[in-house]
Amino acid sequence: MSSYFEEIGQRAQTASRRLIVFNTEKKNACLRAAAQALVESGEEILAANLQDIAAAEAKGMKASLVDRLRLTVPRIEAMAEGICQVADLPDPVGEAVLETVRPNGLQLRQERVPIGVIGIIYESRPNVTADAFALCFKTGNAVILRGGSDAIHSNMAITKVLREALASQGAPEDAIQLVEDTSRESAAAMMRLRQYIDVLIPRGGAGLIRTVVENSTVPVIETGSGNCHICVDQAADVDLAVKIIHNAKTQRTGVCNACESLVIHEKIAEQAIPAICQDLLAAGVEIHGDEMVCRLIPQAIPAVDEDWGTEYLDMILSIKTVTGIDEAIEHINRYNTKHSEAIITKDMQAAEQFQQQVDAACVYVNASTRFTDGFEFGFGAEIGISTQKLHARGPMGLVALTTTKYKIMGDGQIRS
């Protein structure tokens, strides 16, 4: 296992050094070729994906997670569109962050440069393979991918297409490599590849992320699970709340930016809870609620403490009533995963307090949490949604995949 990863690491490092000299035009040409190749190879990719879907259904994987794994022609086209959007975005590599001249005449320029080799350990979603490649390649980074067993056939097919597209453009195929061994041992070995991998990014459930954070010797950017809340303030427009919550909970349930819990002001509860819950129940959502919710909604299941901290990734939602905005913020900060939180209100003072005091990467006013996404933010794609506070936070696009270098020009200065 160690020799296998040693070879992968060396090849990735070599590729990253070749990519340093690629200008923006060259990188964009490679990305557009890769996007076209994905669309043209759609049948091959879908055939591989069907193998993964069949295996997942045979194992009894729940429908929301099968949906996250499934590829379709529109989803492949969306992957290709995401790559093209990355090609269209400004290239941050070489951008000046700081330019100054010191009193002694030294000229300092701090500019953005590639990180080098990025490792990603992820689960299920095969679109991550294409998104990660596009963002890493645009920023001049080589990427080593280690997906889960659930999507192995899909990931292999996508990687094969992308590598062939790079080769057709005279670019290093090893700018993207896939670890085809999906055992725990391969993940552990990748976490120790500090000599070659500059940063490791886990994408998946809370268990995967915790394992990588606790065991990796490679520096980690932590992407988080999403126990996302929507707060319905006493000054909320109830019709607007119904619309936003329906979207945030039901549009796609198996994703990290789906709403998992509501916090409702008690002064609007008698009006808001029935309207919101009738809509959700009609859509097939199971309600877990506190005493007031259960009094107003006979179909509701009494909530237990575990409900407040659970990322269901399913058609289940918890609801708690609170006495005011302060209690709402306190509850959310206690149970959230610092991902995405929202408030529905016409009171802009309450909105401002919520956005200031809620500790999360993305905090919304009168909008669905489902917008926390690199594509929706105009990044073309995302490498993950960082819930930590150092280096990057929120959807991670191109800038998050660069570091900086100081270039200093002198004409004979010496330090006294």
**pLDDT tens readout for residues 88-132:** 999 999 999 999 999 999 999 999 999 999 999 998 789 889 989
Q: Does the structure show a pLDDT above 70 at 61?
A: yes
Within this chain, do residues 167 and 259 fall inside the same structural domain, yes or no? no
Determine the pLDDT at residue 92: 96
Within this chain, do residues 190 and 204 fall inside the same structural domain, yes or no? yes
Look at residue 402 and tell me if it is in a domain: yes
CA dihedral 118, 123, 128, 132 (to 10 degrees): 0
Percentage of the chain exceeding pLDDT 90: 83
Within this chain, do residues 26 and 155 fall inside the same structural domain, yes or no? yes
Within this chain, do residues 84 and 158 fall inside the same structural domain, yes or no? yes
Look at residue 116 and tell me if it is in a domain: yes
38 pLDDT tier (thresholds 50, 70, 90): very high
Query: What is the C-alpha separation between 416 and 398, in angstroms, rounded?
Result: 40
Determine the pLDDT at residue 203: 84
Within this chain, do residues 243 and 346 fall inside the same structural domain, yes or no? yes
| Phi, psi at 403, each rounded to 5° | -120, -170
Q: Does the structure show a pLDDT above 80 at 2?
A: no
Look at residue 376 and tell me if it is in a domain: no
Query: What is the C-alpha separation between 206 and 295, in angstroms, rounded?
Result: 33
Determine the pLDDT at residue 393: 87
Look at residue 385 and tell me if it is in a domain: no
Percentage of the chain exceeding pLDDT 70: 99
Pairing outcome for strands 286-289 and 199-203: unpaired
Within this chain, do residues 285 and 339 fall inside the same structural domain, yes or no? yes
309 pLDDT tier (thresholds 50, 70, 90): very high
Q: Does the structure show a pLDDT above 90 at 204?
A: no
Is-above-0.75 flag for pTM?
A: yes
Within this chain, do residues 155 and 118 fall inside the same structural domain, yes or no? yes
Determine the pLDDT at residue 255: 86
Nearest to 395 by CA among 381, 367, 374, 371: 374
Determine the pLDDT at residue 241: 98
Look at residue 261 and tell me if it is in a domain: yes
Average pLDDT over residues 361-387: 87
Q: Where are the beta strands (DSSP E) in 123-237?
A: 142-146, 176-178, 199-203, 228-232
**pLDDT tens readout for residues 246-272:** 999 999 988 899 999 999 999 999 999
Within this chain, do residues 46 and 181 fall inside the same structural domain, yes or no? yes
Determine the pLDDT at residue 388: 81
Average pLDDT, the chain: 94
Query: What is the C-alpha separation between 152 and 181, in angstroms, rounded?
Result: 9
CATH number at residue 276: 3.40.309.10
Look at residue 166 and tell me if it is in a domain: yes
Within this chain, do residues 54 and 131 fall inside the same structural domain, yes or no? yes
Count of structural domains, the chain: 2
Distance of CA 191 to the CA centre of its chain: 20
Q: Which domain holds residue 322?
A: 228-371
Within this chain, do residues 178 and 29 fall inside the same structural domain, yes or no? yes
Within this chain, do residues 279 and 180 fall inside the same structural domain, yes or no? no
Q: Does the structure show a pLDDT above 70 at 380?
A: no
Within this chain, do residues 272 and 206 fall inside the same structural domain, yes or no? no
1 pLDDT tier (thresholds 50, 70, 90): low
Tokens of 335: 């149970």
